[in-house]
Amino acid sequence: MNRVTVLFLVFIFVYFSCSSIKKTQSQLEYDPVMQQDRMPGSESEAMESIEIPDTAGKVAKVVFDSTKYHFGVVYEGDKVEREIFFTNVGEGDLLIELVTACECTQLDWSRLPIKKGQRSKISISYNSKGKDGPQIVDVDIIGNMDPIVAGTKFYITVLKKE
């Protein structure tokens, strides 16, 4: 399968599995092209400070610290905030195109290239509103990797408030 087909299939899977990405205000404000105009000094100085990712003919590979995370027990309506970590063990810099989970989960991750051997995190905010019982949430990274998707899961048990 070629890369476009795989990306299309992943998009369809994410769309129908109630996944969504919600950007925080800080993510919406960051645009490297727009930020360049706000840098002190000349345009050439600003361009010299931008480092080009090492991806030419190289792919990244993501290895999570764990294949599954246990977030414990919470009461329905509570928000849970956690961080999970992964390392780029591939030959090239990791350029994350998308990180997905279910619609009850907000995610935040680095928009900058993750160098070979570098460890990074995904911040998770899980809203248990309307949930009851054991929950399993898939967290997937899509990027310039082989395979193109890397994932882990987190488990959480939601109890009804009495």
Confidence at residue 103, expressed as pLDDT on a 0 to 100 scale: 94
- Domain chopping of the chain, boundaries: 3-159
Half-sphere exposure of 37 (CA within 13 A, CB side): 4
- Residue 58: per-residue pLDDT: 86
- Residues near 19 by beta carbon (within 8 Å), at least 6 away in sequence: 100, 101, 102, 103
pLDDT digits (tens, 9 = 90+) for 16-40: 554 334 444 444 444 444 444 444 5
101 — alpha (psi -120 to 50), left (phi > 0) or beta? beta
Indicate whether this model's pTM tops 0.85. no
The listed CATH number (2.130.10.10, 1.10.3720.10, 1.10.10.10, 2.60.40.10) that belongs to domain 3-159: 2.60.40.10
Tell me the average pLDDT across 31-55. Answer: 53
Q: What's the gap between Cα 5 and its chain centre?
A: 21
Percent of the residues in the chain that have a pLDDT greater than 70, as a whole number: 67
Report helix, strand or coil for 43: helix
pLDDT digits (tens, 9 = 90+) for 101-123: 999 999 999 999 999 999 999 99
Q: Which of 54, 63, 56 is nearest to 115 (CA)?
A: 54
